Amino acid sequence: MSGSRRVQAPDQGPDRVVVTGIGVIAPNGLGTEAYWSATLDGKSGITRITRFDPERYPVRVAGQVAEFDATEHVPSRLIVQTDHWTHLGIAAADQALADAGITPAELPEYEMAVVTASSSGGTEFGQREIERLWSKGPGFVGAYQSIAWFYAATTGQISIRHGMRGPCGVICSEQAGGLDVAAQARRLLRDDATLVVTGGADASLCPYGLVAQLSTGQLSGRDDPGTAYLPFDVAACGYVPGEGGAMLVTEREQAALARGRSPYGVIAGYAATFDPRPVPGEPPRSNLGRAIIAALDDAGLAADQVDVVFADASGVPERDRQEATAISAIFGPFGVPVTAPKTMTGRLYAGGAALDLAAALLAIRDGVIPPTIGVIAQAPGCDLDLVGGTPRETPVRNALVIARGHGGFNAVLLVTAPRSTPGNGE
Amino acid sequence: MPMFTLDDVRRIMRSCAGVPDAVDLNSDIADVPFADMGYDSLAMLEMAAHVQQEFGIRIPDDAVEEMKTPQEAVDYVNRRFAGELQG
């Protein structure tokens, strides 16, 4: 099916949905440009866990956002009532709005919305309150626990902070959520919304949060940060968890151009599928391929028009093979450049695909595909043109991002280069 | 000599509910409504919980309704100390 189809793009009109602002909080960089230059340099943010003593835990390395000081990014009143994960989300949203040149107070409050992805909620806050409950008693549990743990807390606090009272929401589909929310933003913008803050963040690197993640059996137990997370490699042994994410400002292309802003790119195609229930004794099946095809269809693009695939890159051998098989079936073996910059951050759950989406937009902007670090020898069944340890300079017009959430979620989103800039009178 | 003062309110709010953006807690806040300083109902419950833990007195949840300003909070807590309030 590769390259055979050239269908009319349904989303080429002036109401196309574009991204005009990016904010990034990642283990290898605070702020979009810091993250992007670290990523192009192949600098990893994966280290031994320092947030607590990980010695007695089976997972001891992670992608931690080390330099983040909440007091520099979040008002005092908000710090006490929100989890670390919400602090990261608030900071990223502030960056994205500033990047987009948006002053929310000047815009109609009911036309602005916030839709973010969350996977763990506020586990660090929750652990602290549970410790108080057990050690001191119920009277010592803070009132803010009631709102801080909740998956929608980041959405809600960004909404309150910026007076965005439109159709807000949260999507919890693990790693897939970072793409699912961008698709929801596109839906809202095709309807009555004029501006949507979207993206995702997660930060669950406290003992309670880490133990909750262990139950999947998919995390890497390797101690060397350089080899703990090697997706598609013969030595793949699971993934490294990370914290952080990205927030994006989305609006209609016409509105962006009217404000004199050059968009980063267009949200051109999206599809989601769900994997079938595993059957005991049979190899697991995946509907990821169907999601890729449907997303291409939605964007009106043929497979051979895709310039790069940002892989989900599970790091779990079986899931790596599933993803590589789906990519090869549609683009051909070694048929499209594939990359996984998350080898430098670990998997950020709800923040991971949002960060990949940011990276895809920056790849379009700069004409460069970021590297995948650490991978030396691809595993049998992984016939991918993997962009290795150095970035690959090449024009990028259409970038496809894959995200697979634990439990069966598949999401695929295509971003394309902005066709027009404010200068050319379109 | 009152057992509970405006400085106690300032200290407790600073530690359990954070510092407001618009108002300097060290200024004369006695009659500035908590709501105008950006403290919401959960902040008031936090304050009440801290006072109960620190001073060993009981403050029913609905008592925060009688503490709209720092001065009202000081007066309420001191009446509790004096045994003027039941329940």
Q: What is the pLDDT of residues A321-359, one digit of tens each?
A: 999 999 999 999 999 999 999 999 999 999 999 999 999
Of B18, B21, B52, the CB nearest to A80: B18
B-interface mutation test, from A74, A81, A90, most B Cβ less than 10 A away:
A81
pLDDT at A183 over 80: yes
pLDDT at B2 over 90: no
Compute the Cα dihedral for A346, A45, A101, A94 and give only its sign.
positive
Residue A4 pLDDT level (bands cut at 50, 70, 90): very low
CB contact under 8 A, B45 and A143: yes
Cα(A84)–Cα(A186) distance, integer angstroms = 28
pLDDT at A5 over 90: no
Structure tokens at A101: 């040149």
Query: By the 8 A CB rule, do A308 and A339 touch?
Result: yes
CB contact under 8 A, A77 and B16: no
Least confident of A6-20, A38-52, A102-116, A357-371: A6-20
B-interface mutation test, from A71, A80, A133, A160, most B Cβ less than 10 A away:
A80
Match 């040149």 to its residue by tokens.
A101
Cα(A316)–Cα(A339) distance, integer angstroms = 16
The Cα of B19 is separated from the nearest Cα of chain A by a number of Å equal to: 5
CB contact under 8 A, B20 and A147: no
The average pLDDT across A3-14 equals 50
pLDDT at A251 over 60: yes
Cα(B80)–Cα(B77) distance, integer angstroms = 5
Strands A337-339 and A385-386: parallel
Of A80, A81, A139, the CB nearest to B52: A139
Which residues of B are less than 8 Å from A145 in CB distance? none
CB contact under 8 A, A77 and B20: yes
How many residues would you count in chain A?
426
Q: How far is CA A166 from the centre of its chain?
A: 23
Which residues of B are less than 8 Å from A144 in CB distance? 42, 46
pLDDT at A6 over 60: no
pLDDT at A402: 98
The Cα of B74 is separated from the nearest Cα of chain A by a number of Å equal to: 21
Query: By the 8 A CB rule, do A219 and A241 touch?
Result: yes
Q: Which residue of B has its CA nearest to A79?
A: B18
Of A76, A139, A143, the CB nearest to B18: A76
pLDDT at B1 over 60: no
Of A76, A81, A147, the CB nearest to B19: A76
3-state DSSP assignment of residue B18: coil
Structure tokens at A245: 């994410």
Please calculate the CA angle A222-A226-A228 and round it to the nearest 5 degrees: 25
User: For chain B, what percent of residues have pLDDT higher than 70?
Assistant: 97
Q: Which residue of A has its CA nearest to B16?
A: A80
Of B38, B46, B52, the CB nearest to A142: B46
CB contact under 8 A, A80 and B52: no
Query: By the 8 A CB rule, do A45 and A29 touch?
Result: yes
Which ranges of A215-272 would DSSP assign to H, the alpha helix? 253-258
Strands A385-386 and A392-393: unpaired
B-interface mutation test, from A71, A77, A147, most B Cβ less than 10 A away:
A77
pLDDT at A8: 43
Question: What is the residue-averaged pLDDT of chain A?
Answer: 94
Query: By the 8 A CB rule, do A396 and A307 touch?
Result: yes
CA distances from A373 to A233, A313, A342 (A): 11, 12, 9
User: For chain B, what percent of residues have pLDDT higher than 90?
Assistant: 70
CB contact under 8 A, A81 and B18: yes
Of B16, B39, B49, the CB nearest to A139: B49
Whether A142 and chain B come into contact, CB under 8 Å, resolves to yes
Strands A29-30 and A308-310: unpaired
Helix (H) or strand (E) holding A414: strand A409-416
CA distances from A49 to A31, A126, A274, A368 (A): 22, 19, 33, 31
CB contact under 8 A, B18 and A75: yes
A177 residue type, one letter: G
pLDDT at A139: 87
**Which long-range contacts (C-beta less than 8 Å, at least 24 apart) are formed by A272-279?**
A272/A176, A272/A179, A272/A180, A272/A183, A272/A409, A272/A410, A272/A411, A272/A412, A273/A410, A274/A408, A274/A409, A274/A410, A275/A408, A275/A409, A275/A410, A276/A408
pLDDT at B61: 85
Cα(A19)–Cα(A99) distance, integer angstroms = 11
pLDDT at A65: 97
